[in-house]
Structure formats: C-alpha cells, structure tokens
Amino acid sequence: MKITLINSTNVFACDGSHLISALLKRAGHSVRNVLLSRHRRLPYRPDEIEQLHEIVKETDLVMIAVYSSYADRAIQVTEFIRKKYPGMKVIWGGPHCISAPELSLRYADGVCFAEGDKAIVDFVGKLETGTDYLNTPNMAFNVNGSYKINNVLPPFSDLDSLPYYDYDLHDRFLLDEELLHVTKERFKGHYVHYPFGSPTFILTTSRGCPYECSYCNNIRYIAMHGHTPIRFQSVNRFIGELEYAIRYFDFFQFVAFGDDDFLLRDKKQLEEFAELYKKKIGRPFAICVSANTFRREKMEILLDAGLKLIQLGVQSGSQRILDEVFGRKIKVSKTKETVREIEPYYKTHGLNLLLDFIIDNPYEKGNDIIQTYQYLVNLPLHVIINIFCLAFFPGTPIYNKALKDSIIEPYNEKTFKFFGMVDKITYQRNYETILILLFQCLRRHPRLWRYTPRFVLRAMGSRLIRGIASIFPQSFYKMLIKNI
C-alpha cells in the first residue's frame, strides 16, 4: 500500500512517526514522509498546502502525526485532502489523539489513540485486503458521524523487536514555502537543538514515566492501563541504532536521550551503557533525570562516557503547587538537594545542569510565584533555565479541572496556547510574574546578569516591594509583560 505520513511539527527529533514509518515499511508498504517544517507562529497559506498534491496524488492512505499545539495544521491538511481526493482515508495519531480521540474524530476517519506498534500495521493490512478494520484495538473510527472507540491492547513490551527509526532521506520531504526533498544539509538544520546549539541526535530508549503529573499526556496511559509500565530497550539494541544513525548522518556532534528518567536503569545497565557508548559512539550526551531517582554514584558512572548535560524538572518552587495542582510527588527540598549534588561537577567535569520551570498557572497565588522566583535567584550562575507557560492539553487532569472551573474554554485548535510562548502570559499578569520574566531576560544577557547584585534581585522579591507593587492595576503589568 502507498502511504503518505505527515508530521505536523516543525522538527524531526525523536518523533514517533519515524517508528511508524519503519514498521509500515517492514510490513511491505511504501511510505513517503512529509515534515510541515514551518515555524509554529506562521500559518500555512492554501497555495503552500496545495503543493502536497505532488505527494498525495500517488497515495492510497494519508496518516498524520498530531500534537495539540499543531492540530490546526493537521486540520488544514485533512480538509485539503477531503476536497482534493474525496474518499481517501485520513488517519491521525500522536499525543493529541491519545489525549482526546473524540477531538480528532471530528476531522479524521480514524485515530490511533494508544501505542501504534501493532495496531497501525494491523489496520493498514486490513485496509489493503478489504478486511473489516473497525474493531482494530488501540484505534477509533468515525462511522457516519458516530464514534467507535475500541479496546486497548496491553502496553507493548518487546521494544528490542522494533525496527530502527526510518532515517531514509530518499522518500522524505519538507514543506515551507516550497515542497522540498530533504537532503542531508536540510536534515542537519532541523537537528540543531537547544541547549547545545549544534546538531544533536535525539533517541528515546524506554517507555513509561513513574509520575502522574496533571499537565502531562503521560497520565492518559494510566487512565487506559491502570498503571505506568516502565519498559526498556536493551543497551545493545539502542547502541546499535545510535551507531547506525550516526554513521548515516556523520554531522551529529551531540546525543540527547529523550527518556523521562534515564537513571531508572540499574547500575549494571548503566555500566554496560557507559562502556559501550564510550567505545562505539564517543560523543557528548545529555539525559533527563528525576530528583527522586537521582543517585550520585549512578551519575558518576556516566561522566567518563561523555555525560555533559543533565535536565531536571523542578516546575515550581511552591510545594503547594506541586502537591495540589501538578500532582508531582517530588519535594522542592529534594530538587534543591539534587541541584547542590550536581552543581560541583560543572567545574570538575564540565557537566551542565538544565532546570525546567512552569509559569502562568492560574492556580498559583502571589506567594507561590515568589517561591519560584526565589528558587531561581538562588541558583548558581552557570545553571541553564527553561521557563515554559502552562499548556492545558486536552484529556489531562489539569485541563479537566480548568474547564470545570471556567478558567479555560473547551479546546480550540486555533486558540490553543503553545507551551513555549512565554510572551503570551494569560493568567498571571502580576508583579511576581514580572520578576520571573525579568530574571529570564537578565539571564539571556550574561554580562548584564553577572554584574547584577543578587541582593538587589532578592530585595525586589521582598514583602515590602511586593506590597508597593500591588497597588498598580493588572493593565500596568500586562503592558510591562508585553515589552519585556
């Protein structure tokens, strides 16, 4: 069967569409891949979408990888196909569908709302042979306006049996102004990732997360399966894929592992990894960790192999927010302790630390925000900071709560706030948020940051200054936020 697989995001990264493409090819199908590579804030024009005709005209089926932040693109493509090719089926998959399959079935003929490793290959095989596919597990279908949502398969466990991601450039295209064939040079440009700023290969070697954060799509798997199964690829398996990818694309300078918590692996596996990685890959790499599972002895196993960056989620300096709003079973004191343990390795091993925070949370009070600000101000100068806006992904507990509390409107793909858009502060237009944005602005200018006295920053967060600042109306802070 001839399939066009469209990725709605603007990056290649470790998106699951590469795995779906590889699975379909292994099953004997022909797959062409298209990346909608336009920057998030710039919409596609109809004449640009029209260029997909050159790919889709030779296609039997279109599949689209959809994220909530990019669902408007998926709709645009789907509507184009409906008009241009009446009767051609369009299937959606990806995080947006996992969060809320009913939202996707407004537009798509079917969605894969759980893991697609078996389901997608099974579905395409049935479609090709004319067999009834409406009972395919892990999938849902729009049948003449009625939604048929099927049972969920147990979590896929044999990760080593999966093929390597599809890295073939022969049948890969990107759309931005023009529909272009992907060359190595164009491919390279889409792998230049923050914070390294150099071509970085991203690979996820496990599935599952031990936490139940209210804002994260991962929690939807708990709703489906009743638990959070953590599954690992063997070290030999993922080192083999790394070797293959880096040999194919020799421009990669760094590797980033996309696992929610790389240190969930035991010491024996980490020692095996460190030995093989240093011998066969030999590039600096980054991992994500949790303060709850962080152990210094585990980290030290990885340092000689090339560990150069650790990413740690803090999210809020307020324990109330972590407990009551985010549902994160991690103590603020524990993340601070972890930061203190990792921080000395910056000088001794060149190990960088990247911390994630979430702002613009309508459930925060001024005292919550100021605790995050104080956390930030007291960090060492070299610690890298990521500040995100809270995004309400459909189907997550915090989305349901905010909807019930009339804080947000039901999901709309045209107005959904992208989590990275800190210039679109919506809920917390106040002095405390101004302090965090000012902090971020100073950190972007190292010289200015270096010569800003810490006592001045701390004083700005004092009760006295906050009390004075509270007399100004919200419109004043809205104006300030717009200009920071």
pLDDT of residue 285: 96
91 shares its domain with 227:
no
User: Does any domain span residue 426?
Assistant: no
What's the pLDDT band for 347 if we cut at 50, 70, 90?
very high
Which stretch of DSSP H or E encloses residue 314? strand 307-315
pLDDT digits (tens, 9 = 90+) for 178-234: 999 988 888 787 777 667 778 899 999 999 888 899 999 888 888 888 877 899 999
Identify the domain containing residue 14 by its residue range. 2-160
146 shares its domain with 245:
no
User: Does any domain span residue 212?
Assistant: yes
Q: How many domains does the chain have?
A: 2
CATH number of domain containing 386: 3.20.20.70
262 shares its domain with 323:
yes
50-57 long-range contacts (CB < 8 A, ≥24 apart) are 50/80, 51/175, 51/178, 51/179, 52/4, 52/6, 52/77, 52/80, 52/175, 52/179, 53/84, 54/179, 55/4, 55/173, 55/179, 56/4, 56/81, 56/84, 56/85, 56/88, 57/85
Alpha-carbon span 345 to 351, nearest angstrom: 6
Matching residue, tokens 């349901």: 400
pTM of the predicted model, to two decimals?
0.92
Alpha-carbon span 93 to 61, nearest angstrom: 14
Task: Please enumerate in sequence order all residues whose Cβ is within 8 A of that of 89, keeping only pairs 6 or more positions apart, or say none.
Answer: 61, 62, 109, 110, 127
- What is each CA distance from 42 to 38, 39, 410, in whole angstroms? 7, 6, 23
pLDDT digits (tens, 9 = 90+) for 359-409: 999 999 999 999 999 999 999 988 999 999 999 999 899 999 999 999 999
Helix, strand or coil, per DSSP, at residue 118 = coil
124 shares its domain with 206:
no
Better-predicted residue by pLDDT, 238 or 208:
238
Percent of the chain exceeding pLDDT 70 equals 97
What's the pLDDT band for 12 if we cut at 50, 70, 90?
low
CATH number of domain containing 62: 3.40.50.280
Task: For CA atoms 190, 191, 193, 198, give the dihedral sign.
Answer: negative
Q: Residue 32 corresponds to which amino acid?
A: R
- Structure letter (DSSP) for residue 307: E
What's the pLDDT band for 81 if we cut at 50, 70, 90?
very high
User: Does any domain span residue 79?
Assistant: yes
User: Helices (DSSP H) in 199-282: which residue ranges?
Assistant: 219-225, 235-248, 267-280
